A and B are shown apart, each in its own frame.
Chain A
Amino acid sequence: EDQVTQSPEALRLQEGESSSLNCSYTVSGLRGLFWYRQDPGKGPEFLFTLYSAGEEKEKERLKATLTKKESFLHITAPKPEDSATYLCAVQDISGGSNYKLTFGKGTLLTVNP
């Protein structure tokens, strides 16, 4: 069974204080790893897809990296508007034509001004 574990559960940063969020996963075969941002009471907002170990993607202050067992979401010089829950999800290639996402519980990031 696919498993996704995110750490820490919650992270509080000062504005400008860089840090990383971790996503550890267990799948039969990784089709893709996805990062989403979710604001309270809203649906998840797509950020990145990573497909193979060594891959990196960047968007503004965010950079996502992937190894064979985990992914990191690096946040450089965060701003208060980066405060949100960040969700990691995996797609397992053994699912065949079922492209379900298995999510972790998320990391609640708070950036103080």
Chain B
Amino acid sequence: DAGVTQSPTHLIKTRGQHVTLRCSPISGHKSVSWYQQVLGQGPQFIFQYYEKEERGRGNFPDRFSARQFPNYSSELNVNALLLGDSALYLCASSFYGSEAFFGQGTRLTVV
């Protein structure tokens, strides 16, 4: 069985640009969550989606948005990129409220 897949694996963007990160959950999992991890810190919660509905939002500015598609895949969008947005972005899928399984992440560098 394929695990959680994220694309792209690495990305370099310029300040002010927009970025879209993608995530495909484990087959059968209907919940997808997004986390941001900066170096030396634990992952920080951004969004959770279940059955295409937003179920939770972390303490992130409105520049961050996400959505979930009918096939349960998800996108994370970040507008007007800042240097401080440079981080490892992690997607996690779960059946619902059970153990969350993470993808390998997308390393975003903003220059």
Contact = CB atoms under 8 A, between A and B. Distances in A.
Partners in one complex: yes
Interface of A: 4, 31, 34, 36, 41-46, 49, 87, 89, 91, 95, 97-106
Contacts, number: 68
Give the interface size bracket for B toward A: 20 to 34
B100 interface: yes
Interface of B: 4, 6, 31, 33, 35, 40-45, 48, 50, 55-56, 58, 88, 90, 92, 94, 96-105, 107
B53 to A, nearest CB: 9
6 contacts: A34-B100, A36-B102, A99-B56, A99-B96, A103-B42, A105-B40
B99 A103 contact: no
Contacts of A99: 31, 33, 48, 55-56, 94, 96-97, 100
Contacts of B42: 4, 87, 89, 103-106
Nearest to B56: A98
Contacts of B92: 101
